[in-house]
């Protein structure tokens, strides 16, 4: 089995990936630089987290120290794309509030103006766990700051689990999209509620 690196900031934390992630096919692609690239230094990850106001969970740190997905965002250079994707969940929900009648009763009475509705939603999203963009519109919650958070696919208010954790996500997205979602899936405040309401 492949195993993620241990680093000083996450002593004792490691990530194990089953062989489907490091298959012969993927070894070849990795060698060609087509799926995986060399990981980041701890210093590079520290700079990225400070820059974007994020705290990466320990399993994400272990993965990114070991290797990074070519199709993912480069935390050293993709500033514009990363900032756009950090805004994406809120912007998508606002679109559905204005165009698709999205409004939960627990949010209170729906304000009469778009500006006021935006303020309410910004507060709600602001109190929810932050989301870390991984690849395209796939996100890992930053909280709780522990291994095993699920990966979400987010498109407006259409949220689904795309992996029960990081290893499960990469197996499904890079190896076998038809692979059943591993169970159980950790519940994440607000974001998992969106998934459950979609179900």
What pTM was computed for the model?
Answer: 0.83
Q: Are 137 and 89 in contact (CB under 8 A)?
A: no
pLDDT digits (tens, 9 = 90+) for 120-165: 999 999 999 999 999 999 999 999 999 999 999 999 999 999 999 9
**E strand or H helix that includes residue 58:** helix 58-66
Average pLDDT over residues 42-54: 98
DSSP 74: -
Average pLDDT over residues 177-192: 92
Q: Which two tokens stand for residue 128?
A: 């929810």
Q: What is the pLDDT of residue 199?
A: 72
C-alpha 130: how far from chain center: 9
Q: How far apart are CA 70 and CA 135, in angstroms?
A: 9
Model confidence at 13, pLDDT cuts 50, 70, 90, reads low
Number of other CB atoms surrounding residue 27 within 10 Å: 12
Q: What is the pLDDT of residue 179?
A: 86
């Amino acid at each position: 089995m492949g195993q993620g690196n241990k680093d000083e900031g996450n002593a004792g934390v490691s990530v194990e990936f089953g062989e489907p992630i490091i298959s012969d096919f993927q070894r070849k692609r990795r060698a060609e630089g087509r799926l995986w690239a060399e990981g980041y230094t701890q210093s590079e990850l520290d700079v990225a987290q400070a820059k974007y106001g994020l705290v990466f969970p320990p399993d994400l740190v272990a993965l990114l120290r070991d290797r990074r997905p070519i199709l993912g965002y480069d935390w050293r250079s993709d500033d514009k794309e990363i900032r756009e994707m950090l805004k994406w969940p809120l912007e998508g929900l606002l679109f559905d509030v204005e165009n698709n009648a999205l409004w939960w009763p627990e949010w209170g009475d729906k304000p009469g103006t778009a500006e006021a509705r935006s303020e309410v939603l910004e507060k709600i999203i602001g109190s929810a766990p932050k989301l870390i963009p991984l690849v395209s519109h796939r996100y890992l919650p930053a909280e709780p700051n522990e291994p095993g958070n699920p990966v979400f696919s987010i498109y407006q208010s259409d949220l689904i689990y795309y992996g029960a954790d990081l290893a499960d996500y990469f197996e499904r997205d890079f190896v076998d999209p038809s692979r059943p979602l591993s169970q159980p899936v950790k519940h994440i405040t607000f974001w998992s509620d969106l998934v459950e309401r979609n179900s």
